[in-house]
Amino acid sequence: MYAVAITVFFFVISDGIQAQISPTSLDQIKLMQQYVGSWQANIAKDTSEVWDTQQYGKAFIINVYQVIKSQKVPLYINNICFDSKAGNFKGFIVWRDGSYSTWIGSFVNEKKFNGEMVQNFNPGTAYVKLENVFDNSKAWTWSQYNAEGLKILEYKFIKVK
């Protein structure tokens, strides 16, 4: 009797798990292509941030700069690849001063990307959480959260080309 109940329980549980969408079942590369192009967010008076994103095979490169009072100021370059074994993206950010940052993330559904800033790609060292949500093909919102989960930054990007 107990064996039948346990078998039914595991059957129901496994059936429910199969119905869920996991990040690895999504076409992560295709979803990342949503970023390709030029995106701009107004972040302060007389200041905007621009992300110029291009695809490089199965990788992506984002050249990020700010426009401050009509003057273009380079900020960083974000090099992104997909780790098929881990099922997520890994980003290596090169700052103008020669320093670097790393992050790990993936799409959790077709419109939402979650990630974490980490030290040297070590998932156990997250110090900032990232969330990008696409409103549509021409707009998305970038949010950053500190280690305690408090939102510390939000930019709304609009596609400019």
Distances (CA, A) of 122 to 62, 106, 118, 125: 22, 15, 6, 6
pLDDT at 24: 52
Instruction: Give the pLDDT of residue 9.
Output: 37
Domain count of the fold of the chain: 1
**Residue 2 parent element (H or E):** helix 2-19
Contact call for residues 117 and 102 (beta carbons, < 8 A): yes
pLDDT of residue 29: 96
Cβ atoms of 68 and 47 closer than 8 Å: yes
For residues 62 and 74, is the Cβ–Cβ distance under 8 A? no
Burial class of residue 82 in the structure, from the number of CB atoms within 10 Å of its CB (0-12 exposed, 13-18 middle, 19+ buried): middle
Residue 119 in 3-state DSSP? Answer: strand
127 — phi, psi (to 5°)?
A: -125, -10
Asked whether residue 9 is assigned to any structural domain, the reply reads no
Per-residue tens of pLDDT for the chain, all 161 residues: 444 333 333 333 334 444 444 445 899 999 999 999 999 999 999 999 999 999 999 999 999 999 999 999 999 999 999 999 999 999 999 999 999 999 999 999 999 999 999 999 999 999 999 999 999 999 999 999 998 899 999 999 999 98
The predicted pLDDT at position 147 comes to 87
Which pTM does this prediction carry?
Answer: 0.81
- The amino acid present at 87, given as its one-letter code, is G
**Boundaries of domain holding 97:** 23-159
**CATH number of the domain that 110 lies in?**
2.40.128.20
3-state SS string for 3-64: HHHHHHHHHHHHHHHHHCCCHHHCCHHHHHHHHCEEEEEEEECCEEEEEEEEEECCEEEEEE
